[in-house]
């Protein structure tokens, strides 16, 4: 049983609150509601030209919801530029429960069957709360974010929450909004019902085979069974038209 009650977690996110630990080894969590919130407007999501080439290339394979545990633990591990993280075992445990229940998702970046990057987050109604990302290869987490944005846009989501203002995300069109403005956007988003697996379904934009430059939505017995599909890099970029 997680130290964080799953129902309380969902209620907190509906109220614009999320958990953070003081350190990776901390036993407790803090409940946070920033005075200023970072969001990435999906209708204005921007892909830099150099990154667009990486998305279309055959460098990575992108899978959805096939290795959630590995992704969240990859996000929790220390790195040279970040010696400690805010993701502790209590947060990992409750998000693994959310994954089983279909509320949490992972976008995974693979090279030769090695997980080299990815991100995870929580889906509620038409809102997606992007929690954390990690990268063990150049551009891996950025490619994951592009695929996430395309998936959310195709699935009818209206809010992509990035939690705190982050200058790194400005290249994708991220903006800062007040807490009051965020609460209004969140209330509107919760009135919608996003479809996280819309993009990969046959007949939808982004469906296709996992060939050169393609992003696999999981093996035949993996994400496909959860509703994912195959999404080619070029068609993912078609969903997101803002490039430069």
Q: What is the DSSP letter of 23?
A: S
The Cα–Cα gap between 115 and 109 comes to: 6
Ranges of the chain whose pLDDT falls below 50 = 1, 206-225, 227-230
The whole-number pLDDT of residue 175 equals: 97
> Checking DSSP bridges between strand 127-135 and strand 18-20, what pairing results, if any?
unpaired
Tokens 């290339």 sit on residue: 57
The whole-number pLDDT of residue 216 equals: 34
The whole-number pLDDT of residue 79 equals: 67
pLDDT digits (tens, 9 = 90+) for 34-75: 999 999 999 999 999 999 999 999 899 999 999 999 999 999
The whole-number pLDDT of residue 78 equals: 75
User: What is the secondary structure of 52-82 as a DSSP string?
Assistant: HHHHHSSS-EEEESS-HHHHHHHHHS-BTTB
The whole-number pLDDT of residue 160 equals: 98
pLDDT digits (tens, 9 = 90+) for 82-106: 566 889 999 999 999 999 999 999 9
Max CA pair span of the chain:
47
Q: What is the pTM of this model?
A: 0.87
Angle between the N-to-C axes of helices 68-76 and 89-100, in degrees from 0 to 180, rounded to the nearest 10: 160
CATH value of 34-65+105-243 in 1.10.10.10, 3.40.50.620, 3.40.630.70, 3.40.50.300: 3.40.630.70
Q: Name the CA radius of gyration of the chain, rounded.
A: 17
């Amino acid at each position: 049983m997680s130290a964080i009650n799953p129902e309380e977690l969902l209620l907190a996110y509906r109220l614009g609150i999320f958990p953070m630990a003081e350190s990776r080894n901390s036993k407790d969590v803090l409940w946070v509601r920033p005075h200023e919130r970072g969001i990435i407007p999906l209708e204005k999501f921007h892909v830099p030209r150099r990154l667009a080439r990486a998305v279309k290339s055959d460098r990575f394979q992108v899978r959805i919801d096939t290795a959630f545990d590995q992704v969240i633990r990859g996000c929790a591990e220390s790195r040279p530029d970040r010696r400690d993280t805010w993701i502790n075992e209590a947060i990992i445990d409750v998000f693994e429960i959310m994954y089983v229940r279909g509320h949490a998702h992972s976008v995974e970046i693979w090279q030769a069957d090695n997980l080299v990057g990815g991100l995870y987050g929580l889906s509620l109604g038409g809102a997606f709360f992007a929690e954390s990302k990690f990268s063990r290869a150049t551009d891996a987490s950025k490619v994951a974010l592009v695929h996430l944005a395309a998936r959310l846009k195709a699935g009818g989501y209206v809010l992509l929450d990035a939690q705190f203002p982050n200058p790194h995300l400005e290249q994708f069109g991220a903006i800062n909004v007040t807490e009051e403005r965020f609460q209004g956007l969140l209330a509107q988003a919760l009135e919608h019902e996003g479809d996280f697996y819309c993009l990969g379904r046959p007949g939808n934009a982004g469906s296709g085979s996992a060939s050169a430059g393609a992003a696999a939505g999981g093996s035949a017995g993996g994400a496909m069974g959860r509703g994912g599909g195959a999404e080619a890099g070029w068609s993912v970029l078609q969903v997101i038209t803002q490039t430069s």
